[in-house]
Amino acid sequence: MATDPISASVLSLLRDRDPAIADLIAKEADRQATTLELIASENHVSPAVMHTMGTCLTNKYAEGYPGARYYGGCVFHDQVETIARDRARQMFNCRFANVQPHSGAQANTAAFMALMNPGETFASLVLKDGGHLSHGMKLNFSGRYHTPVHYPLHYEKSHPEFERIDYDAVRAVCMEHKPKVLMCGYSAYPRIIDFRKFREIADACGALLVADVAHIAGLIVGGAHPSPFPHAHVVTTTTHKTLRGPRGGLILTDDEELAKKIDKAVFPGVQGGPLMHIIASKAVAFGECLKPEFKTYARQTVQNARALAAALIEKGFRITTGGTDNHLMLVDLRGKSDQLTGADAEKWLEAAGLITNKNGIPDDPRPPKFTSGLRLGSPALTTRGLKEAEMKSVAVFIDTVLSAGLKGEGDLAAATHQVREQVRAMCAKFPLDG
Ligand code: DSN
């Protein structure tokens, strides 16, 4: 529930003016407070980040950039955006930042517009292997207005790099197709990305390297994953995952000419007015990321993911690639039972207060609505204060529910009840901040 004074006052304001929405916000606050969030792309923002979004900065049009706006009255907005840009540059140790993209997909749209003409070819990992919609899915702008070619993972079980990026194949695909852009960075890849190797391949085939670090941005800033700089020409990211900011996007580069093209592509290319209340909140989140304690958070996030993966392996689950180097893991549920789908696992776990998402695994024979995999992540649990010991308990919760579900409805109902209570107790022990 909303325990901090600002949330409480927002709710009391809404209770009179819009009871329907007030009721739903209160219920969602309770859901977040009493469940364990294992979705790898989600997090819990601080009260400072949260409440900066709900300020008068939303009232303003500020099309353009600091010092060059198309509206009067932007004096404070210019200062807010400048602070956000400076902090973003400092976080990634790079020269240029555009903080206006409304989302990660918008950031990728703008980056593509800046770097490619319509129809031109780019290379990426396909969505079903861990990529993203905006990396060339055929219904997305990236697949409709450009020509994606995809590089593979190692699919042979006997290969020591099974399910990891096949860098030789990346090179072969790039040398054959000579893409304008080579894209790395993923939504469901549990291992370190070798940005240096990607840059060597990009140079060899004459491509520009774009690193979409949406998932691992906070780990990079916190020193728990190597940085894409100085290797990538352009870096895109969301701001709401491991960076623990408001929902939004960010584009970074060290190259002045590319920075100019990116600014033009974001506005007026793909967006109009920037969301200044969100940009202010990004600035607050970036300020938090620059504090020494954020390094501790990033390190603990990785340690927690490793502990969860190890505990699940001990319980008989197969984790793709055999584990994780970052904040997420993909559980191949077939290791437990051929009958178990990601869709069932997600549903059963949610009833017990464990929030996850079904996810395809490399070479998955099942379609995306069912999947053979479950994606789990540690960022939100780490924000809550959980450590390795609690991750072991989380693995027990997961195993208890899924094993019971495989036995039948009666067993599942009993296990759900028991684990739901244990999850509530753990949430009470590790309350959300505000
Ligand atoms: N939809 C996001 C995720 O869950 O990974 C990627 O943008």
| Interatomic CA distance for residues 135 and 315, integer angstroms | 35
Ligand 1 centroid, distance to 383 Cα (angstroms):
19
Average pLDDT value for residue range 74-87? 98
| Interatomic CA distance for residues 405 and 409, integer angstroms | 7
> What mean pLDDT, rounded, does the chain reach?
97
**Does domain 56-289 fall into CATH 3.90.45.10?**
no
Which residue's CA lies nearest to atom 3 of ligand 1? Answer: 41
Alpha carbon of residue 342 to chain centroid: 19
Asked if residue 215 has pLDDT above 90, the reply is yes
Ligand 1 centroid, distance to 86 Cα (angstroms):
26
- For residue 132 and ligand 1, the question of a CB distance below 6 A is answered with yes
The hierarchical CATH code for the domain 297-429 is 3.90.1150.10
Asked if residue 99 has pLDDT above 60, the reply is yes
Which residue's CA lies nearest to atom 4 of ligand 1? Answer: 41
Asked if residue 229 has pLDDT above 90, the reply is yes
- Residue 222 has what pLDDT? 98
Q: Where are the domains of the chain?
A: 56-289, 297-429
Phi and psi at residue 330, in whole multiples of 5°? -115, 120
Q: Are 380 and 390 in contact (CB under 8 A)?
A: no
Give residue 5's pLDDT band: very low, low, confident or very high (50, 70, 90).
Answer: confident
Average pLDDT value for residue range 81-107? 98
- Residue 127 has what pLDDT? 94
- Residue 4 has what pLDDT? 82
Ligand 1 atom at shortest distance from the alpha carbon of 188: 5
Phi and psi at residue 396, in whole multiples of 5°? -65, -45
Ligand 1 centroid, distance to 324 Cα (angstroms):
18
Q: Are 207 and 179 in contact (CB under 8 A)?
A: yes
Asked if residue 18 has pLDDT above 60, the reply is yes
Q: Are 359 and 373 in contact (CB under 8 A)?
A: yes
- pLDDT greater at residue 2 or residue 242: 242
- For residue 321 and ligand 1, the question of a CB distance below 6 A is answered with no
- Residue 2 has what pLDDT? 59
- For residue 377 and ligand 1, the question of a CB distance below 6 A is answered with no
Mutate to test the pocket of ligand 1, among 37, 38, 41, 358 (most ligand atoms within 8 A of CB): 41
Ligand 1 atom at shortest distance from the alpha carbon of 187: 5
Q: Are 2 and 29 in contact (CB under 8 A)?
A: yes
Asked if residue 35 has pLDDT above 70, the reply is yes
Average pLDDT value for residue range 282-290? 99
Ligand 1 atom at shortest distance from the alpha carbon of 215: 5
Phi and psi at residue 84, in whole multiples of 5°? -60, -45
Average pLDDT value for residue range 154-176? 97
Q: Are 38 and 380 in contact (CB under 8 A)?
A: yes
- For residue 41 and ligand 1, the question of a CB distance below 6 A is answered with yes
Rounded to 10 degrees, the C-alpha dihedral 129/131/135/138 comes to 40
Mind listing the pLDDT tens digit for each residue in 111-132? Answer: 999 999 999 999 999 999 999 9
| Interatomic CA distance for residues 415 and 34, integer angstroms | 17
What single letter denotes the amino acid at residue 136? G
- For residue 187 and ligand 1, the question of a CB distance below 6 A is answered with yes
Mind listing the pLDDT tens digit for each residue in 291-332? Answer: 999 999 999 999 999 999 999 999 999 999 999 999 999 999
Whats the size of the chain, residue-wise? 434
Average pLDDT value for residue range 332-346? 96
- For residue 104 and ligand 1, the question of a CB distance below 6 A is answered with yes
Give residue 212's pLDDT band: very low, low, confident or very high (50, 70, 90).
Answer: very high
- Residue 1 has what pLDDT? 57
Place of tokens 């072991």: 392
Mutate to test the pocket of ligand 1, among 42, 135, 187, 189 (most ligand atoms within 8 A of CB): 187
- For residue 134 and ligand 1, the question of a CB distance below 6 A is answered with no
- For residue 242 and ligand 1, the question of a CB distance below 6 A is answered with no
Asked if residue 162 has pLDDT above 60, the reply is yes
Ligand 1 atom at shortest distance from the alpha carbon of 238: 7
Mind listing the pLDDT tens digit for each residue in 347-397? Answer: 999 999 999 999 999 999 999 999 999 999 999 999 999 999 999 999 999
**Catalytic residue numbers, as ranges:** 61, 63, 212, 238, 241, 247
- For residue 249 and ligand 1, the question of a CB distance below 6 A is answered with no
Left (φ > 0), alpha (ψ -120 to 50) or beta: where does 44 sit? beta
